[in-house]
Structure 1
């Protein structure tokens, strides 16, 4: 029987030299859920998702994705990862970027063309397909990065601050699409420091100073702390009364 847990981290720590930036993180993300990691910049969210995606390795502890220990090269085809900084070839057009990254995931011919069209429609960039990425605005680059992460229809989608620099209307449509993907069986792990986005997640992990300080549904976290909103709950768990 398939495990209901998609992502598992057990007592995960990460050191850079003599500085420990993550301390004993134990976390479960269930299949098909949108799980948010909420915390301020520098709290350790990016370090954690990089290790879950297999891009970095934990100093100690254990990470599994879809039952496989990470990092594992074979898992890259099952994971879509959108980094905080856009990893795009700015001298190429959006079309050439999509063709390149699509080919890395084994997409070709009609399937490649179909997926390019679908993901560019989703992020509202179809009219800019042939433009050089160097001429894109910051928000357009974020949208193209999301399109690339979705190209190979991954089972797990890891998004690091995906909506930074994106206008509110498009941000809403992206979150609607994340809900749709989740209903189709995709597990989504998203980092954010935006409180209204945190409210849209099925469950949240609150991260502060490299430690996981609370986990639960947004509603449960608010109820447990007697808070009117997620921001108040975060401050409560962080020891700010």
Structure 2
């Protein structure tokens, strides 16, 4: 497969703090690529650099072989941040309709896509409920639905399943697999081990550096351990969450 995103020697510093240090990786079209690491390892910063929300201190990001230009990139991507950016006094449908209008979705397509993504995150019965009545987990699911709304080619999801129960989390991951089968590329950050095992490949971040980038099975073989968590412990870092 061809690389759809290439990160080359990417570094980011905030004043005296080096958050990322010379990160390089390729993300292939049509794969689920996981960024796994403890809190503070640089996962969110790396995502923001890959979509142009932050500028690197050094290094570069290319999308489909061209230097990253955020304005041209946005119609092709869906982005879900760690914090929910929702209008609390609007209904779920109104939040979705507003986002759909920003992407220029026509009315018929808009209605179809709203129903499709709300069904995927198991929120269709709550379509007309004000967001301030949603639980934290429901808000996360609505944020995911918004990221999926315009049927993006690439999804950037920053810990999308935080606060979601295990059964629904599995269903959402089944949805990710279907998106992958349709040719979509998904970049997902997590610190949850069972999610890491579901990724096609993993980039393991520790102290702002990629310590490994390969399939979960290959990484475990490389370090001679039985779990990804043991890889972090073997490198003297903070363990990730089970």
Query: 5 Å matches for 1:157-236?
Result: 157-236=155-234
Quote how far apart the aligned CAs of 1:91 are: 1.3
Superimposed CA distance per residue, residues 125-155 of structure 1 (whole angstroms, 9 cap, x where no aligned partner): 0011111111111100000000000011111
Aligned length: 238
Query: 5 Å matches for 1:148-159?
Result: 148-159=146-157
Out of 118, 129, 133, which is 2:127 matched to? Answer: 129
Quote how far apart the aligned CAs of 1:239 are: 6.2
Please give the secondary structure, in 2, of the residue aligned with 1:199.
Answer: helix
Quote how far apart the aligned CAs of 1:224 are: 1.3
Quote how far apart the aligned CAs of 1:203 are: 0.4
The residue aligned with 1:33 is 31
Alpha-carbon distance between aligned partners in 2 of 1:181 and 1:174, rounded to the nearest angstrom: 11
Please give the secondary structure, in 1, of the residue aligned with 2:122.
Answer: coil
The answer to whether the 8 Å contact 1:213/1:238 transfers is: no
The answer to whether the 8 Å contact 2:77/2:154 transfers is: yes
Query: 5 Å matches for 1:81-120?
Result: 81-120=79-118
The residue aligned with 2:78 is 80
Mean CA deviation greater in 178-187 or 68-77: 68-77
Closer, same or farther: CA 173–38 of 1 in aligned 2, 3 Å: same
Alpha-carbon distance between aligned partners in 1 of 2:67 and 2:93, rounded to the nearest angstrom: 34
Out of 10, 13, 16, which is 1:15 matched to? Answer: 13
The answer to whether the 8 Å contact 2:51/2:70 transfers is: no
Quote how far apart the aligned CAs of 1:69 are: 1.8
The answer to whether the 8 Å contact 1:78/1:154 transfers is: yes
The answer to whether the 8 Å contact 1:43/1:208 transfers is: yes
Q: Which runs of 4+ in 1 moved over 4 A?
A: none
Closer, same or farther: CA 107–238 of 1 in aligned 2, 3 Å: farther
- TM normalised by structure 2 equals 0.95
Superimposed CA distance per residue, residues 23-66 of structure 1 (whole angstroms, 9 cap, x where no aligned partner): 11001011100000000111100000011122111111100122
The answer to whether the 8 Å contact 1:55/1:71 transfers is: no
The answer to whether the 8 Å contact 1:7/1:29 transfers is: yes
Alpha-carbon distance between aligned partners in 2 of 1:82 and 1:234, rounded to the nearest angstrom: 26
Mean CA deviation greater in 178-187 or 70-79: 70-79
Mean CA deviation greater in 43-52 or 221-230: 221-230
Quote how far apart the aligned CAs of 1:172 are: 0.1
**Structure 1: segments with no counterpart, 5+ residues:** none
